[in-house]
């Protein structure tokens, strides 16, 4: 028995061309899933597809703005035309900004909330509806953050958006449970990536390390186990509404 076998399954990863999303796509592909790598930047998505194919897996890139319901609906149609099914949806587009509270413009608020939270709602409506109506179960995995609560300093809007992601996850876990569509979130700690590079000043890195018992950043590959576990019906059939921390102990730290 292979608890983590995803053969014959199709996984759609929105923001699959991100640093963390890319590593999780590679893991899903490596365990047999056909992976739809969805992103705005096709060149970056194609790189992830190439990595999966080089490892003997099957993947295809799909272009979409995750904040557009029209784009995301088109991706559902295109994926169904490709493999005929969707078993796993992972949501990981993301953006961030360290703007002091009184200086946050409503344009910036909208941009961050749209990419981090509205995109999750859109994908859960589009792909969740398909999974619920098809009646064959499924797994939705949202990528949250340690900033979802208690919030980190300096990243107000990001924190509010990720608190929203936890709420959407737990709300839909209840709503979709009768259809055997499981909805969970991964809470990554700190992993150097494009969207947080600007925010990681020397002083901030020092304070992150002080609050991370393992005293280091995570590597994107260290999220692969949690992603495959939650994607696999065999491994996590009784897991829904869970917020799984992969954070080197950050969430367990006091003094």
Q: Which residues bind ligand NAD (CB under 6 A)?
A: 15, 17-21, 39-41, 65-67, 92-95, 115, 143, 145, 188, 190-191, 193-196
Cβ-proximal residue to ligand NAD, closest one = 94
Tell me whether residue 171 is one of the annotated catalytic residues.
no
Which residue number, 12 or 115, has a Cβ lying nearer to ligand NAD? 115
Give min distance, CB of 204 to ligand NAD, in A: 12
Between 25 and 33, whose beta carbon lies closer to ligand NAD?
Answer: 25
CB of 96 to ligand NAD, least distance (A): 7
Residue 116: CB partners within 8 Å, gap ≥ 6? 93, 94, 95, 158, 161, 162, 164, 165
- How far is residue 138's CA from residue 161's CA, in Å, rounded to a whole number? 24
Q: CA 83, CA 238: separation in Å to the nearest integer?
A: 26
* 15 vs 32, beta carbon nearer ligand NAD: 15
Catalytic hit among 158, 190, 229, 250:
158
Least Å distance between CB 104 and ligand NAD?
A: 17
Sign of the Cα pseudo-torsion (34, 161, 192, 225, in order): negative
**Cα–Cα distances in angstroms (integers) from residue 214 to residues 29, 110, 147, 209, in the given order:** 29, 35, 18, 8
Which residues 6+ apart lie within 8 Å of 4 measured at CB? 31, 228, 229, 232, 234, 235
Tell me how far, at minimum, the Cβ of 27 lies from ligand NAD, in Å: 14
Give min distance, CB of 180 to ligand NAD, in A. 26
β-sheet bridge partners, residue 246: 188
Displacement of CA 219 from its chain's centroid (Å): 15
H helix runs in 31-155, sequence order:
42-54, 69-83, 106-113, 119-134
Q: Pick the closer one to ligand NAD by CB: 145 or 236.
A: 145
CA distances from 243 to 106, 125, 220, 230 (A): 29, 20, 18, 11
Radius of gyration of the chain (CA): 17
Phi, psi dihedral angles at 13 (to 5 degrees): -115, 105
Is the CB of 220 or the CB of 233 nearer to ligand NAD? Answer: 220
**Active site amino acids:** 158
């Amino acid at each position: 028995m292979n608890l983590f076998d995803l053969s014959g399954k199709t996984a759609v990863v929105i923001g699959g061309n991100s640093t963390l999303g890319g590593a999780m796509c590679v893991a899903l592909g490596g365990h047999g899933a056909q992976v739809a790598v969805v992103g705005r930047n096709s060149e970056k998505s194609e790189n992830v597809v190439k990595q999966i194919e080089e490892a003997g897996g099957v993947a295809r890139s799909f272009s979409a703005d995750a904040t557009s319901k029209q784009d995301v609906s088109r991706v559902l149609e295109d994926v169904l035309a490709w493999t005929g099914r969707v078993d796993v949806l992972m949501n990981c587009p993301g953006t961030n900004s360290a703007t002091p509270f009184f200086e946050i413009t409503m344009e910036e608020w909208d941009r961050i909330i749209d990419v981090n939270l509205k995109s999750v709602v859109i994908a859960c409506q589009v792909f969740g509806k398909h999974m619920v109506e098809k009646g064959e179960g499924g797994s939705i995995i949202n990528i949250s953050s340690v900033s979802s609560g208690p919030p980190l300093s300096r990243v107000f809007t990001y924190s509010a958006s990720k608190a929203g992601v936890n709420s959407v996850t737990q709300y839909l876990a209840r709503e979709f449970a009768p259809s055997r569509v499981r909805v969970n979130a991964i809470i990554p700690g700190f992993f150097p990536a494009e969207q947080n590079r600007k925010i990681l000043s020397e002083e901030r890195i020092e304070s992150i390390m002080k609050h991370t018992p393992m005293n280091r950043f995570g590597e994107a590959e260290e999220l692969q186990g949690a992603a495959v576990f939650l994607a696999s019906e065999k491994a996590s059939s009784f897991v829904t509404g869970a917020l799984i921390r992969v954070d080197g102990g950050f969430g367990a730290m006091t003094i």
